Amino acid sequence: DAGITQSPRHKVTETGTPVTLRCHQTENHRYMYWYRQDPGHGLRLIHYSYGVKDTDKGEVSDGYSVSRSKTEDFLLTLESATSSQTSVYFCAISGGGAGLTRADTGELFFGEGSRLTVL
Amino acid sequence: GQQVMQIPQYQHVQEGEDFTTYCNSSTTLSNIQWYKQRPGGHPVFLIQLVKSGEVKKQKRLTFQFGEAKKNSSLHITATQTTDVGTYFCAGYDYKLSFGAGTTVTVRA
């Protein structure tokens, strides 16, 4: 498996509190992604990064922010958690495919997931 | 915008039988990827298809990319209990969009 670790793996928090999830990679891959997985919706992209300090929004970015200060770390922050953000969050990395866009993906390697419950 | 639909959502299969899951895109795709997620696990890459009409096989799994590059299928022969899980397709247009997945259960 690719060297990706997510922390924390499980978290229970209350509505209105800030939450930060961390994704750490040892593969030196350029692209990093945060997805959320909910029943019936598959995997939906929250934010992605195509380099240090280079990030962009995905399809469900409202209520989330990200930061990437080092190649190996990609942080996802919920400034004020809501119950609708209860989900399983997956980080993914990619070395990039043959395309030419900033969001280009080759094969995605996923972390083991972080289960967040907002009460 | 780009949408990727998968059918069926659930597939209950008798061990030893074959089944097919389908992936359809609202737009023409540059490539399509397939992933498998075991219960409680994370998605794992299976394969990527790039060419129109491309067919690739991995043991009992056969993947096909449609001629118009708007659909794909995954066919599994002689289903085994190890095939249990959710299979996702992900179509790449200007972004990668995942289908909702087909969750497979197997009756022994």
pLDDT tens for each residue of chain A, 119 residues long: 569 999 999 999 999 999 999 999 998 888 899 999 998 888 999 999 988 999 999 989 999 999 999 999 999 999 999 999 999 999 999 876 544 454 455 789 999 999 999 99
Q: pLDDT grade, residue B95 (50/70/90)?
A: confident
Tokens of A73: 């770390």
Query: Which site among A31, A32, A37, A89 would you substitute to test the B interface, given the most B Cβ atoms closer than 10 Å to its Cβ?
Result: A37
Residue of A95, A102, A84 whose CA lies nearest to A48: A102
Which residue is closest to B9 within chain A, CA to CA? Answer: A40
Burial string for B26-59 (b: 16+ CB within 10 Å, else e) reads: eeebbbbbbbbbeeeebbebbbbbbeeebebeee
CA of A39 to nearest chain B CA: how many angstroms apart? Answer: 8
From residue A36, give the alpha-carbon distance in Å to each of B21, B36, B52, B59.
Answer: 23, 16, 30, 31
